[in-house]
Structure 1
Amino acid sequence: MAETSVEHYSESAVPRRRRTGRAGIFAAVLVVVVFAASIVAVIVFSRRAAEQSTARPGRSNAGPVGALNGTFIAEFGPRTDIFGNAYQGNVVTEKYDGPWSIRSACRSDGCVATASFGRQNSKLSALVFDEIDGRWLAVAVTPGTCDTVSTDVWVIFTLQPRPDGTLSGEYLEVPQIQCGAPGIRGSSLPAKQILTFRRSGNVNPPVQAADPEAQPPRHASPAQGLHGQYLETMQEQTGTYTRSNTVKTYCVRSGDRCMSLVYTALDFTPLVFAGQKWTVNFERDVICASGGAGRYADIREFSLPPAPQDPIPVLKGRAHQQVTGGTRCDSAYDFDDTFERTGE
């Protein structure tokens, strides 16, 4: 795994803290931990992301997008981070440019399209799109790497029909672990590409897509209630940190697994929803600013509220972060982690 130097972190990236009397080296170590940890910023889920990932089909206000049938060539623009800046991350997945065979059907519960990728030995050979608010959305989980470490990567395709007959939108890659160098703008943020599908002909028989009528209905997830802007409060024995972040959530069609993107302009932390809770669980190498290499671990758990709302006003959890390796950065912290919604 690639090493990350905490010397690259800027002071502006550190959440403000109300000190409780500890000073000197303890404060310095805590700052290093905050830097190296790139403490997950508030869980903020954009309603649009939740709507794309978990919304109930057939309840669109935009009306059906119409049939989607034929062979399409996928064209991907340059990689950027989610803000449109040059991508500096290290996530590697398969390329999905080239021919896709697509079939669609509209049912009482919404429109569904099945897509088959024409490249042999592809790890992502098929997708299922759902029509949600005038757009086609597909979410899949595929093998990839993050800083050379194998991990699942969530891939999200969003397409909207255009008057010229093409479909255009975005493609996102979201690793299930954190990588890059938090504090260096864009290095840990998910990758985004402008995506265009151009129809090149009828469905190619050798690359036949599955029957869209045979697909099960899309299921909503309670995770869809976690979206918008949230203020995160991290309460430790040594003090309190607060931080505001944005969150977007994408779910697979079954609704039992979701990826929640927690991000600021500087960094990103993946929260994976499964089994009625969100979790963070990853390790990575760090370099202490005072010298020496260490290992950073971040483990968090947030239970789904007993009566989840949409939006979820408050989410509470518990976190453990530590740095090991025999340097001055070595430390361990357990703290309460609370997210309070402040807006869309």
Structure 2
Amino acid sequence: MKLNYSGKQKYRKTTTKLLPVTFFFSFLERPAINHPLIGVCFVASGWQVFLKAPWRREAALVGRTRSGPQRYYFPFSTRTQLQRTELLKKSKSMCHVIVTCRSMLWTLLSIIVAFAELIAFMSPDWLLGFPRSNSSVSHAGVDSGEYRPSLGLYSRCLRLATRGGGVSCGPYAGTFSEVASGFWQAAMLFLAGGTLVLGVVACISIFSLCFQSILRKSIFNICGLMQAIAGLLLMVGLMLYPAGWGSEKVVSYCGPEASAFRPALCSLGWAFYAAIGGILAAFLCAVLSAQAEIATSSDKVQEEIEEGKSLICLL
């Protein structure tokens, strides 16, 4: 004969209540010193206490209807936790625009650094040559005094008489092999690589306002690591650049005394200093990325997300 669920519960409760009594009377039949059920009696009593534990009763199955499914009742704290988990799952599928002071500062600085390095890389004002006078220019209204030609990584600026004494800027190297020296070729590769990485981070930083993770990894930590790598590439490129000052191209601009790490009559232009500033700013962005991660994952932001807000602005 099968017992229903309530009958099984009654049978279990009756059995567990009679176990200590049964062991007690069997204990009286013979001396306690030779009785093997002394330990079993204490184990059964502990099992009865375990079955009556309040935390067990709260989550226990309290009934079953013949036609319906099982019903589980959870304590209030558990239900609250489940509701919070469901809200968090729904919030992850939504796009939340999170704007904080630290994250916005990091985004703006990342974009500025990328543009600064790109402009410095393309500029011809890395080296300013010694002053020259263009005596062949004698047209009216044209300044025929002294001027300083400039030389960049792959471009230059000169005043040409064939164009009315105006300054003409453009690339002096038609191909990569025609760059002034091998050191400059290597410097261009490192500078271009670092600038490319900074440009990618600048694009990602714009989308970081809406997406804060990539493949369950923090987008700020990934971008910070990339900015540190870009800073190292730019630093190596700037260290290789002065080693090419002894090339024939630089000697024609700076005089015969020009050699590696010695520009002679030339002086450094604004592009070189802009590249140095970009390196320092890149490392600063790598540090600020950690602060942006802390700001966008704070408790205040999580509370705003749980409330269902899609636009979150915090100071």
Task: Give the structure-2-normalised TM-score.
Answer: 0.24
Structure of larger gyration radius? 2
Considering fraction of residues, name the structure with more helix.
Answer: 2
Task: Give the structure-1-normalised TM-score.
Answer: 0.22
Considering fraction of residues, name the structure with more strand.
Answer: 1
